[in-house]
Amino acid sequence: MKKVNSLTEIPHEILEEAMKAGIDKEEGRAGSFFHIDHSTVMSKVNEKFEGKIEVMDIKDALGKYGWLEDYRWHLVDKNKDEYTRAADREFSGGYFLRILKGAKVELPLQSCLFISEKGLKQRVHNIVIAEEGSEASIITGCALHKESSGEHVGISEFFVKKGAKLNFTMIHNWSEETVVRPRSAALVDDGATFVSNYICMNPVKDLQMYPKAFCKGVGSTASFNSIIYAKDGSKIDVGSAVELSGKNSRAEIVSRTMVSGDSQIIARGMLEGIESPAKGHLECRGLILDDNSRIHAIPEIIGSKKDIELSHEAAVGKIAEKEITYLMSRGLSHDEAMSTIVRGFMDVGIMGLSKRVTV
């Protein structure tokens, strides 16, 4: 597809699906990036944010900045598996987002990675740099044409420098026929904060990812929130990991999962305390909505110094009858009560989502 200068020039049926994955009008965003199949069709900074952020295709960025080569494959091992190797060989682009030093960006940046062609194998490599003291949030939507199929491999590397705050939200809107392999890692510097939110409410054939944050900086913080509903035969293996190797680093991992309709979720979580003092908590909660589905929660914590405080809690089960009847006593029908509870269960307070994203 040829390059466009505005989201309005993107074919309606593509934009429609992208919006369900969190993409919104560009006026409400600090910058917008759109990649369809094997090409970047749009990368644009909202004029109010010129000089505060950069939004580029990764290939252009690598051409422009020689130093960027040092960032590429710095956090994710290119020989990790067949998917990383494939992405190294044949990546078609991806986003480069950079929040410049000290910039406070009030509106979210957004990016969309879209598959429009049936059976397409998309391989992208994304790099996000939040320079010292900057603050920003990013919403990334990954989606494809209804009833399409494909394979998506996305490498994402995040660099959150001294004192920076980066809030990253990824929303997946795939199909029953998509295989998805994101490979992400973040480096969190002194006093920096990395928040990563993941939302997947639509079916996906096969999704596996285990993003990791390295809290190397003194007083660095990482937090992962995942909301996943595996339905209609979805197979999902998702976790978040944090390595606490900076003094006074902290981490929190929260995952809320639901399964129905012959689906499976493996919900992983790993907190590893390497330097002390360090603190972390991991929460894995799952709702099983029928008898043909399965949740396997695997929370792990590792500590190797005495001043490390790590804890986890995991629980899977059905919706408590008591909660349903409580809501029914207030006048809701059984189904309304169930969906109210489910909505509540999924609400972990992710900020900045447009109304089009129904959690």
Partner 1 sequence: MLSISNLKVSVSGKEILHGVNLEIPEGETWTMFGPNGSGKTTLMMAISGMPGYSVTSGGITFLGKDITKLAMDGRAKLGIGTGFQQPPEITGVKLRDMIRICSGKGPKEDLSKDERKLVEKLRLSEFLDRDINAGFSGGEKKRAEILQLLFMKPKLLLLDEPDSGVDIESLRLIAGEVQNYIEKSGASALIITHQGEVLDYLKSEKGCVMVDGRIHCIKNPKQVLDEIRTVGYQKCIACHKMA
For partner 1, the binding residues (CB under 8 A) are 320-323, 325-334, 337, 340-341, 343-348
Distance CA 184, CA 195 (A): 13
Angle at 305 between CA 301 and CA 311, to 5 degrees: 30
Nearer to partner 1, 139 or 227 (CB): 227
To the nearest whole angstrom, how small is the minimum distance from the Cβ of residue 279 to partner 1? 21
Nearer to partner 1, 302 or 320 (CB): 320
Nearest to 267 by CA among 281, 251, 253, 250: 253
Nearer to partner 1, 143 or 200 (CB): 200
Which three-class secondary structure string do you get for 235-300?
EEEEEEEEEECCCCEEEEEEEEEEECCCCEEEEEEEEEECCCCEEEEEEEEEEECCCCCEEEEEEE
To the nearest whole angstrom, how small is the minimum distance from the Cβ of residue 326 to partner 1? 5
To the nearest whole angstrom, how small is the minimum distance from the Cβ of residue 228 to partner 1? 15
To the nearest whole angstrom, how small is the minimum distance from the Cβ of residue 341 to partner 1? 6
To the nearest whole angstrom, how small is the minimum distance from the Cβ of residue 49 to partner 1? 29
Nearer to partner 1, 48 or 343 (CB): 343
Give residue 62's identity as a one-letter amino acid code. Answer: L
To the nearest whole angstrom, how small is the minimum distance from the Cβ of residue 3 to partner 1? 38
Nearer to partner 1, 306 or 330 (CB): 330
Distance CA 292, CA 287 (A): 13
Nearer to partner 1, 48 or 318 (CB): 318
Q: Tokens 């590792």: give the residue.
A: 302
Q: Tokens 């054939």: give the residue.
A: 205
Nearest to 114 by CA among 182, 173, 156, 157: 173
To the nearest whole angstrom, how small is the minimum distance from the Cβ of residue 119 to partner 1? 39
Nearer to partner 1, 76 or 346 (CB): 346
**Residue 335 CB contacts under 8 Å (≥ 6 apart), including other chains:** none
Rg (CA), the chain: 20
Q: Is residue 277 reached through a cis peptide bond, with omega within 30 degrees of 0 on the bond before it?
A: yes
